[in-house]
Structure 1
């Protein structure tokens, strides 16, 4: 350190996590994530200044005009302005922070200005956007000043040996000045001091990315907590989607029943009525032929009755109502082309709706086993786990079942999801296949 004594005078499939030879602490300053999050923090300050000024000014003006009619619609406009900023903030968080946030539901109103104003003022999402506008401003100042100062200082000190030549060549001094007054000045110019300065800069450079990530993590919490849809809104959206699935499924079931009746039992009964009419006409002329026709009609009656029983079983089997899942699933297993072992361990019966869904789920899965698996045996296990009804159908077939492939399993998963159920498929190529379904237990 030199002193001058003259008197002179700043979600295809991932192959797995990538292995790095460089430790995270050393590669963090050069990672894309660090620069994206740093860019987010830098942009936060100017955006927060505009948003904060809008919120405070507009709310103050609205509150002052509440004694008049103008204050109420002005407050609604203020909240909608904050929601408009929220759209930009969610897009910015998706692009730079990697947070995928759903858009809140639009304000609902029955039409007209006053219902719209009421909808805006009653929306919790609107007020959470206003809260974000106010509290994010001081946080953005702290994050901007801290990260920008440390980032620039760290890199400047770390690279000091590379640009120190600027001082003796253009500034007429030995190096970076640490102190100076009318009597003496202190510069960083000795080799040891330069190395120490660079080491301190390296330390700051290595630590700053983790501070940036910490600030960005808080921003993620703010965006997710204040700018995302509320749990109630998400639940309403989910229920509306589930209701659509239930309606579509019910309509499809009705069309299937109508088609089965029209093409099956109804057609047989029409043919049977015609055959009996012909037998009636031949009764006096040719009793033997009439008797033969009546015998054939009797056979058709048996077939029609069996079709009607199968159709009724497909709607809701009587054995399920009378004797529960154990007997009903045993009946389904007996009709499977593959030997099936059924094990039902339930302390009580769930509500009929859940019981029916469980029955039809196992029935459809066993149909898949019969048609597609190529298995030689299968098992069905049903038990209760906490507040969930668990179903598991396994076979030793060829495997390869995939609910994401748009097959019948996808439709089954949608129907289970409509009642808060889950379908999990484990079916590697070559087998075996294990399909587990969870349903809510509602006694």
Structure 2
């Protein structure tokens, strides 16, 4: 349901609209089901193949729309149960994959059930209200009716029986008021039985997700190892080699050219400081010491101080996340703020962090030009891979002209309570 709960009258009006719309959609679904079966029967002469694909596309569009509507009524999203299609343009291969997908046949079963039992559940509230309205209106037009006209179990043939018909009309109105949400909930649960993934499908999707997540994690770790090797080879290692050469040369000329030896020793000292700086930077890139010492809250506040634009920070954490989650969250926030600095042309940004329902929720936004896209090579895809290793999610809202809002969630349990930090500006 939506966050703003409708009044009882508004709810019944919405249910009435659905009761009027769903029967038509049920009949459309029945026509599509017959079209699908007809397409199957024509596969032998190849003419049915394009018809089958067309029918499947329309049916899946209809069932996806129903999943969205049912999620609104049930208050929980209904995942898409379809298997991913093979990465090929071969129409036969893709059609075979569609026919082997159990969700295709569950959709077909739902179309037939929706046109029978589902139709009954959706029409019942509409029929009850129609009877209640008829009981009122018949007091106006009963003289124009030839013979006896029945309102439920009351035969209307004069003014007295027309007034008496108001009693079953009132009963129908009360039944409509009580049964309409019951029927809609029953319809939603009946549809969910066939439109939602089965337990086996959920497990298969979970295994596939873990497989892809593991592959992404392995790739990310290999890339990180290569980066560390490259930084060590091109940075600290090169400087240490230069340091050894300078010290060796200074040792050789120290007796007969002390001034040059002294200059070489000064250069060696400077090289040592540069190597230490690079090693510290490398360590911070692996796991920042400030994250270990001050936790996620302190690390974020230290991070925003170095940003080129003002960043408002609002953190409310009653405890501390596990170290791997802290690290993933910190680097994700770092990457988003880096993207803002490079691409957003923003004047200000904000970071909000809180924990609820077993999830660490991070919102990073800016007032820049918008247009952020995770497929555009802006680093957002890397954040998605990093979070995916923890079953985390990332959502991006970035219309042209801004603002950009990046929402990240990581499932975790906090450790012992800590004092929450109030809002501030970095």
TM range (shorter): 0.5 to 0.7
User: 2-side partners of 1:157 and 1:406: how far apart?
Assistant: 53
TM-score normalised by length of structure 2: 0.58
Q: Which residue of 2 aligns with 1:160?
A: 135
Partner of 2:60: 87
Counterparts of 1:337 and 1:171, CA distance in 2: 84
User: Which residues in structure 2 correspond to 1:345-384 (within 5 Å)?
Assistant: 367-368=299-300, 371=303
- Closer, same or farther in 2 for the Cα pair 1:179/1:292, shift >3 Å? closer
How far residue 117 of structure 1 moved from its aligned partner, in angstroms, is 5.4
Q: Deviation digits for residues 371-405 of structure 1, max 9, x if unmatched?
A: 55999xx997869xxxxx99899xxxxx9547221
Question: How far off its partner does 1:193 sit?
Answer: 0.7
Pairwise CA distance, 1:195: 3.0
When residues 312 and 372 of structure 1 are mapped into structure 2, their CA distance, relative to the original with a 3 A threshold, is: closer
Give the aligned partner of residue 126 of structure 2: 151
Task: Name 1:137's counterpart in structure 2.
Answer: 112
Report how far residue 133 of structure 1 moved.
1.5
Residue correspondence of structure 1 range 180-329 to structure 2 within 5 A: 187=157, 189-190=159-160, 193-209=164-180, 210-225=182-197, 231-233=203-205, 235-237=207-209, 239-240=211-212, 243-244=215-216, 247=219, 250-251=222-223, 254-255=226-227, 258-259=230-231, 262-264=234-236, 266-267=238-239, 269-270=241-242, 273=245, 277=249, 279=250, 283=254, 285-286=256-257, 288-296=258-266, 299-300=269-270, 302-303=272-273, 306=276, 310=280
2:29 to 36, 41, 47: 47
Larger radius of gyration: 1
User: Number of matched residues?
Assistant: 343
TM-score of the aligned structures, taking structure 1 as reference length: 0.56
| 1:158/1:310 CA distance change after superposition, 3 Å | same
Query: Hey, what's the Cα distance between the residues in 2 that align with 1:186 and 1:61?
Result: 54
8 Å CA contact 1:245–1:414 kept in 2: the answer is: yes
8 Å contact kept, 2:322–2:413: no
